[in-house]
Structure 1
Amino acid sequence: MSFISYAQNFEDVMLWRALGHIKNGFYIDIGAQHPVIDSVSKAFYEHGWRGIHVEPVPEFADLLRKDRPDEIVLQVALGDNEGILELNVIAETGLSTAVNDYAERHKSERGFTPEKLHVPVLTLKSAFSAYCGKEIHWLKIDVEGLEEKVLRGWDSELLRPWVMIVEATIPNSIELNYSSWDRILVDANYQFVYFDGLNRFYVAKEHAELADSFSCPPNVFDHFQLSGLSGELCDLVKNQYESRLIAKDAEIRSGKDELYAIEAQLRALTTQQHSLTQSLAMAEQHLQEKQTLTQSLAIAEQRLQEKQAENDDLLERSQWLENEWKASQAQMHHLTFDLRSRSEELDQLLASSSWRVTAPLRRLATLGKSVPALPGNLLRSTARAVMPVVRPVALMAIRKVLANPAMTKKALTTLNKVPRLKQKLRRSAVYAGLINEQRGEIYTGTHSMMQEYEGDRSSISIPHQQDLSARANRILIDLQKANKVRR
């Protein structure tokens, strides 16, 4: 629990510094006045201490009883003799006094109107006889000019508070007024230890260790708080504090306005940052797309170069083929022209008179050559004579064999042993359209010749050879061979 100061001049702070280590201590407050405002005992009461209050003014005595129902309140005055005292009561202040001169001064200087009140008077010895020999940790005397009389009614041997605080100035003044009673405390073996500008503090010699606690005034190291209810000093501090608070409030308002402006700028910057972040993200996306497009373009360019190279190769190949085609066409025209020339020469030869004159000689030579082969010729002539009758029957047989795969397989196995018969039957089947094979390759006898030139890309195919006679075809083949040898 923090220590809150209620006293007028920080008396409670000084006492707490010296006695705060004591649990559930005891005090006597003479001239206690209000239970809270300017109270020296209020802070101790909040920390579990209890004590006795002496207050002759009925208003304050009632307030003390209400605020401290578990404490004793003596509604009397103290003096050097018991009896009745005329008290000048100044309502709602702590200036009530039995000294008429002080009352008149308050009236003239401040306009107060004192009221006379007769109160009983006891001495310190008689009022606290029940507490003789008991521990009293502090005793305060604030009786507005009657301090000397109160101390003269004290038996210092029977009642010995550890610390005593006595108001040492004329009421509401800085003029000192303690010389008449200071000797009483010194003779009672009390050591003066501190003056706070209003009160003098004394420590009993048997508790001299407490004197060091009064070496300096209250400060930040006492770790206390102000209640704001401790009279003029607190009013001054409060006013200063409120002035500073007002200034701080104005500063805070100005700071808030500045903070609002900064927050607005921050929001604008945040919005701008968000926009920039989005723009950056879009730019990064565009950059990635651009990089992807660049890669695609590079790949496309590479493919284009490859296609261009292929195209160049194709163009070169096409040009070569075109040149070859032109050369082949030229050669074809040349061979055709040569063929026509030879054919015309042959026709002229056949139509010439020398050819007709030498015909008997040629027949005689042919007859001479055919005599050794007469049996074969006779056989061939016989075959040609019966062929018209045999051919249809043979073709019918071939057709039936070809319609049956098993018979075809057996027929081929047999015919492979007789190649010449197989060739003749094949020619007949091709000629009759039973086998899908170009007739010209077999019929004209050019099939084997074309195979000779199959590996030669420069050879020339025979155009429209079916339009030529067999003899013309043979001449054309001879021309091709001669041309190849010449090249």
Structure 2
Amino acid sequence: MTFVSYAQNFEDVMLWRALKHVQNGFYVDVGAQHPVVDSVSKAFYAYGWRGIHIEPVPEYAELLRKDRPDETVLQIALADTEGTLELNVIPDTGLSTAVDAYAQRHQVERGYERQRIQVPVLTLKSALKFLVGKDVHWLKIDVEGFEERVLNGWDTQVLRPWIMVVEATIPNSPKTDYASWDPILTTADYQFVYFDGLNRFYIAKEHAELAEAFSCPPNVFDDTILDASSHLCRGVIASYQARQEAAAWAQKSDAHAAAIREQELNARLTREQSDHTTSQTRTKWLENEWNAAKAKIDELNHHNHNWRTMANGLNHELQSVYASKSWRITSPLRKIMLATNRGLTLLSLQMRWLLRLTKRMTKPLAVWAIRQTIAKPTLKAYALSVLTKHPHLMQHLRQFAMRSGLIAGSNMPSQINQRVYLGSNPKNVAGAYPPDLSEQSIKELPPRVVRIYSDLQKAINVRRSNAHCN
């Protein structure tokens, strides 16, 4: 069965190689730290072993109680005397130590902060006195430079673990530091059998048969895999996590892109559905319009048919009239009536022309006659006596004279009044003359009127000459 290793330097692999034949064994882990990460006991616990954990750091002691509720956790420190001591706690590491020099070095070299706490201290003898007569298959000591003090508090005759594992280097350094406490183990009849670069392994002489298991370091034949918490897997795990994160990010990006695409497609579908609904509405409207237009066309065709039928009937009747005997008999009469109508129309046009011509000629002659009447007092008095009997005619002539500027009116300029009211001076009376007509107007007059107008012009010229001589 494949063995899962949790320890930081394959300590559990070496111990399992030597002790895997033991069922439900027992262990003591001094400086146990985390219940999983870099734990020497975790693999054995999984195989049904149980034991005692000695851990003075409160954080790790609590984690051990939660992860191993069926095991004993002693939250104490070990030394060669009992009482209390000041422990330098370096959080989140396995470097907490009771040696001030090591704590200061960690702070200087690595920038670790330390917290000083007071912890109770027992000897290994007094802390494990209840194990007298019980087999302890392995005991590990990892106390960051305090190993000698711990071993000095051990009763080698009462507590005889089959295998002892003790950290043998200066904390956080490959330099060995075991000369001061190695004699304690050898004197107690323990045989050194293996050094893994960090720890020294010792076998009790009464179990010398286990030494063969430490003849070589961990290898492929130990059928071992590393737990993900092992620091040896951190690079692989980091790479795997990076790939997982990249894949998750790509999946998230793909999902985001897919979501955006889905939103776009949904929006497009909504628009197309709206357009389809609009098209259906438009199509229905056009269909209704088509039906209405078709009905109107049918109605117009029906009316057209009726009108055509009626027109054909009327045309038939007209042709019947044209073909009738009465129409042929009355044909000369219709021609006479047509000629008569044309003659009357022409006569009407000539009369209208003569009336317009007479009107154009009558106005200048009327103006000249009124001027002559005004200029001669006797004629004026006689005209007034006659017009008094015809007030309507008198009013009409007065308005005509005023419009023509022959007599004074409220809207006539003063120079016209001066021109019309010439007084009794004979010279002024001689200045009243008939109007001058243009050549075009004379050409439009009848020959008789032209002769009268010519005679008047001659008489006026003679009068002007006489008035000038006087």
TM-score, with structure 2 as normaliser: 0.51
Superposed, 1:384-403 pairs within 5 Å as none
Question: Which AA in structure 1 matches 2:234?
Answer: D
Instruction: Give, in angstroms, the shift of residue 159 of structure 1.
Output: 0.1
In the alignment, which residue of structure 1 is the partner of 2:141? 141
CA distance in structure 2 between the aligned counterparts of 1:82 and 1:110, rounded to whole angstroms: 32
Q: Following superposition of structure 1 onto structure 2, how do residues 231-270 of structure 1 map, counting pairs within 5 Å?
A: 231=231, 233-236=232-235, 238=237, 242=240
Report the 3-state secondary structure (helix = DSSP H, G, I; strand = E; otherwise coil) of the residue aligned with 2:154: coil
Contact kept in structure 2, 1:95 and 1:144, CA below 8 Å:
yes
* 1:2 Cα deviation after fit: 3.0
Post-superposition Cα deviations, 1:175-199, rounded to whole Å, max 9, x if no partner, equal 1000000000000000000000000
**Which residue matches 1:211?**
211
Tell me if 1:64 matches 2:41.
Answer: no
User: Matched residue of 1:179: which SS?
Assistant: coil
Report what 1:112 is aligned to. 112
Moved more, 125-134 or 161-170: 125-134
CA drift at 1:235: 2.6
1:183 pairs with 2:183: yes
| Equivalent runs, 1:11-410 vs 2, <5 Å | 11-231=11-231, 233-236=232-235, 238=237, 242=240
1:152 offset after TM fit, Å?
0.3
Aligned to 2:318: none
2:79 and 2:142 mapped to 1: Cα distance?
12
Query: Per-residue CA shift, 1:375-420, capped at 9, x if unaligned?
Result: xxxxxxxxxxxxxxxxxxxxxxxxxxxxxxxxxxxxxxxxxxxxxx
The answer to whether 1:5 aligns with 2:2 is: no
Find the aligned partners of 1:53 and 1:23 in 2 and give their Cα distance. Answer: 20
Write the distance in 2 (CA, Å) between the matches of 1:58 and 1:4.
27
Q: CA offset at residue 26 of structure 1?
A: 0.1
Helix, strand or coil at the partner of 2:61:
helix
Q: 1:33 to 1:190 in 2, by over 3 A?
A: same
Deviations 1:85-110 (A, max 9, x none): 10000111100000011101111111
Question: Residue 28 and residue 149 in structure 1: after superposition, are their counterparts in 2 closer, same or farther (change >3 A)?
Answer: same
SS in structure 1 opposite 2:181? helix
- In the aligned structure 2, how far is the partner of 1:98 from the partner of 1:87? 5
List 4+ stretches of structure 1 deviating above 4 A. 236-239, 241-246
8 Å CA contact 1:33, 1:60 repeated in 2: yes
Aligned residue in 2 for 1:284: none
CA distance in 1, matches of 2:243, 2:206: 46
Call closer, same or farther: CA 1:237–1:78 in 2, change over 3 Å: farther
How many residue pairs get matched? 245
> Is the CA contact 1:96–1:144 (under 8 Å) kept in the aligned structure 2?
yes
Give the distance between the partners of 1:198 and 1:162, measured in 2 at CA. 20
- Paired with 1:243 and 1:36, the residues of 2 have a C-alpha distance of 20
CA offset digits 1:138-196 (Å, max 9, x no partner): 00000000000000000010000000000000110001000000000000000000000
**Cα pair 1:26 1:138 within 8 Å, conserved:** yes
User: For 1:191, what is the secondary structure of its paired residue?
Assistant: strand
> Which runs of 5 or more residues in structure 2 are unaligned?
248-470
Superposed CA deviations along residues 126-147 of structure 1, whole A, max 9, x for unmatched, are 0001102210000000000000
Residues 39 and 230 in structure 1, CA contact (< 8 A), matched pair in contact too: no
C-alpha displacement at 1:3, in angstroms?
1.4
TM-score normalised by length of structure 1: 0.49
How big is the shift at 1:230? 2.4
SS in 2 for 1:62: helix
Cα deviation, residue 245, structure 1: 8.9
Q: Secondary structure at the match of 1:203?
A: strand
Identify if the C-alpha distance between structure 1 residues 238 and 189 changes in structure 2 by more than 3 Å, giving closer, same or farther: farther
CA distance in 2, matches of 1:215, 1:189: 20
Deviations 1:424-459 (A, max 9, x none): xxxxxxxxxxxxxxxxxxxxxxxxxxxxxxxxxxxx
Q: Identify if the C-alpha distance between structure 1 residues 244 and 89 changes in structure 2 by more than 3 Å, giving closer, same or farther.
A: closer
**CA shift for structure 1 position 244:** 13
Give the % identical residues.
69
CA spacing shift, 1:76–1:243, aligned 2, 3 Å: closer
Quick one: which amino acid aligns to residue 136 of structure 1?
Answer: V
Alpha carbon RMSD of aligned pairs, Å? 1.8
Structure 1: tracts of 5 or more residues without a match: 250-487
